[in-house]
Amino acid sequence: MPPYLLGPRLSRTGLRRSESQAGSRDTRHLDVRLAPAPEIQDTARRMADSAAPALSTTCAEYLDRHRATLREAVESGQRGLIVAERYAAMYDGLFGALCCAADAERRSQPDAVGRVALIAVGSYGRRQVAPHSDVDVLFLCDDPGDRRVAEMAQTVLYPLWDAGVDIGHAVRGLEESLELSETDIRTSTTLLDLRHVAGDRSIVEELEVGGRERIFERQLEAFLHALEDDTASRHRRYGDSIYLLEPELKVGRGGLRDLDAILWCCKARFGVKDLAEAASRDLLTERELGDLQAATEYLWSARNRLHLWARRRNDRLTYDDQEALAEALGLRDGISRATEQLMQTHFRHARAIARVADRIGERVRRSLRPPPATIRDLGDGVLVHDGRVTLKPMDLGESPVVALRLYRHALREQLPVDSEARDAVSAAMEDRECCRILLGDPEAGSLFCKLLTRASRAPLRRGSILEELHEVGLLTAMVPELETVVGKVRQDAFHVYTVDAQAIMAVDCLRGLVRGEYAADFLVVSRAAAEMPRPLPLYLALLLQGIGTGHPADPAKHAAAVAGPVCERLGLSPEDTAHAQWLIAEQSSMYHWAMRRDITDPETIAEVAEAVQSQHRLRDLYLLTFAYLMTSNPAAMTAWNARMLEDLYNAVSDRIEGRGTGEQLEALRREAFEGIDDAERRREIEAFLGHVPERYLLANSADGIRFHSSVAERREGLFAFGATDSGVGEGTLELIICCDDRPGLLADLTAALARHRFGVDSAQLYTMRRPGRAPEALDLFHVAHANMGDSELIAFELERLQQSLEAILAGEMSAEVMLAGRSRPPMWKRGGPQIRTDVHVDNASSAQYTVIDVYTRDRPELLHVISRTMHERGLSIGLAKVNTEGQAVSDVFYVQTEAGGKLAGEGQLGELSRVLRRLISKLD
């Protein structure tokens, strides 16, 4: 709840308020106002009782009439900021009329004293209100304890609450407001936005004067620091990147709240009223002013539509909204899809806002103090000035390589770059001739490569030199081939960031691996990064791996072809260029081998070893795959994925170096016994390992093996069941089910999981063979659930799941009956991009099995449908690799017929593929 809402609260709903709305007002827009609505004012004068139903009805009718008009204005394409101002004017008419009547009633009482004013604050204070935004007001008075002021507020607010208006409000005195503003950044910013709506204007003027004297003149430095800290905290909460695929228009980086922060800094320093006046004070360049005004208009046009479509406050531009907004803005599919054009437009505007927001605080500080007397010359046209690295006065257009020297010295000195120097570099990189000179300069290529491969953290935002080069335009100046993917969206359910943003994050992830930041959790890949003898080809491969995105044939091969000239231009040898191209062309191979093939199969290991050929290639492909997966989305790198990649890397490395799996298996066995002193417990683990296949040992951690053995070896009755969070990704559980094996078992187990809405992220299926006993299934499921964050609720769900498992394994309930009783997802659950269903069935991937690959959208009952179909066709599953990537799944099944062989002929393979596609489509 924003601090300006503290104090005597009159709200009857008790609803928590969100942050106040954001925006920036352009003086070219019309100053639209409404006089107090006479019908409301007359009704209010006649009815001092605030609960009078006629008054609420009149207010509701007034709102309905104006909202209908404004909806038509949005749908007809009226400018977004003007519509926002008209919404504010609509509320001015309401508040003005109600406040006038309420104040007249208060003054009619014989002992009424003191001043009262109704003030608009937040976005309403800026005359910028979206269709379903809440409205923030402050009743400012001489005596907040006066019951007549509270009664006046009730007279104003009750009819509006009854009419459905979401109002944030407070009743406060003048001194109380100033004291609160001195200690809280959210409250102090409201002093920069407040606007008199009704009541005594003199008390409002006193608040404005007091705020400027006590805060923005005496404590401006402290205000700027507090605003920057609050902005950084907000960015961390909402993704800290302008390149999110579903961006937040209001509070995300590059959104309306950042526009507010820019204007607040300018207002606090000079008392300006808008961005145009800030430019006249040299706090913004003319180009920045134009960019910010265009961004403001775009954001408000988009936001107005999102609110009206959702019929509620909605500021996130989801996949579904992107389709609708692109159409509303008149975008059409061409060389690129309409949604891609929309998102590139969005990212361009967000980037313009973010650039200024990052620099405005330093500009304001510079205007406060004279330059220091001491300057240190670093050579190369670069200085240290006021503790920041900056440029000597020069024309960067004649010698643009100095821009890269600037950042080399910033890293060497571990000092931040001066904001004016950043502005100069950004301006130079907008000049095509300057970029042409830079592109042909051998020194520039050498400096860029050194900056790219430097592993130390940079004294820049988020410690990323590459992100900084992208922000100022140096990245695309040096690699113009990347311009085609700036702001480019991958239309899938797996990637969270745009192509260029993920490339930068992947490079930074590799730097982190080299620095050892991931060693505690990912030792093997960190060791591989530390041993890189020639890092440049790998860094360039990570940077360029996405430039083929959207290519209709083979994006990876296209990216590899484009990367060749880039590497040559940057001075790489033919051997290093070929290595970088190979990494890009094979960018998805290792992930597919690890996640979709049996990595315990010697044939698979031999296939991978033949493809990579050398330890050098294997190591770099492992590092590229890891860094790419880590940065695809926050949940992509699970412990399961990391273990599969690590095991594949180790197995292929052993194969290339002539070692077998025997040593690895023995080492894994020893690890499982470490720290176990109890002789009985050791015998139990030893017996368990004797019952499971070798591939189980290769696929599980020592902690997992110990847990699984404790469950399986103590099985009594129909089945054994256990759950743990050991060795799995954050927010997931590992379930172990041990029971007698039989045809159709997987279909039954997955029906029980689907009934209780446990989503399967991955699965391992094994057969245990104990002397004198029938074969037993040892099935491991990594699952997610909506109640995972609540320990009591998840314990309850696990108990219910155990009961369902017992019922289905005992034959007391069929899978069909169990699925019929499953809970349904809520209707409001958000969808994502469309995911096409593909099913591939082949006999070439394994010597013993037919391999079935299923790619489709995730559904709770999907795994049950697939496994039931295989059972009905007499197929037994020898190995299943279930992988969930966001809302997409890629499931792989190794199956055999009842006779123990593969499916025969193309006819059987094609028929199974068609049947699975048809049944999966029915799930929709």
* Mean pLDDT, each 10-residue run in order, the chain (924 residues): 26 30 32 43 47 73 93 94 95 90 74 85 94 94 88 89 89 93 90 93 95 92 94 87 87 95 95 93 92 96 96 91 92 84 91 91 84 76 87 86 93 87 90 92 93 86 87 94 86 76 94 85 85 88 93 90 96 92 95 85 88 91 95 79 89 78 75 90 92 81 88 88 67 87 90 88 84 90 80 90 94 88 48 69 80 81 88 85 69 85 84 91 80
Q: What is the structure's pLDDT at 618?
A: 94
Going by the DSSP 8-state scheme, the letter that residue 481 receives in this structure is G
Helical H runs in 531-635?
Answer: 536-544, 555-569, 574-585, 589-596, 602-612, 615-630
Going by the DSSP 8-state scheme, the letter that residue 390 receives in this structure is E
The residues, ordered by sequence, that sit 6+ positions from 543 with a Cβ below 8 Å of its Cβ are 452, 466, 479, 482, 503, 504, 506, 507
Going by the DSSP 8-state scheme, the letter that residue 490 receives in this structure is P
Contact 746, 764 (CB under 8 A): no
* Alpha carbon distance 415, 596 (integer Å): 47
Q: What does pTM read for this prediction?
A: 0.64
Q: DSSP string spanning 93-136?
A: HHHHHHHHHHHHHHHTSTT--S-EEEEEEHHHHTT---TT--EE
Nearest Cα neighbor of 360 from 469, 297, 279 is 279
* Alpha carbon distance 231, 233 (integer Å): 5
Bridging pattern class, strands 375-379 and 382-385: antiparallel
Q: Position of tokens 């990064």? A: 529
Element spanning 879, H or E: strand 876-885
Torsion of CA 159, 162, 163, 164, to 10 degrees: 130
456: tokens are 């130390």
* Alpha carbon distance 461, 439 (integer Å): 26
Contact 23, 260 (CB under 8 A): yes
Residue 256, SS3 per DSSP: helix
**Is residue 16 classed exposed, middle or buried when 0-12, 13-18 and 19+ CB atoms within 10 A define those classes?**
exposed
* Alpha carbon distance 606, 166 (integer Å): 66
Residue 734, SS3 per DSSP: strand
Q: What is the structure's pLDDT at 491?
A: 64
Q: What is the structure's pLDDT at 16?
A: 28
Q: What is the structure's pLDDT at 819?
A: 85
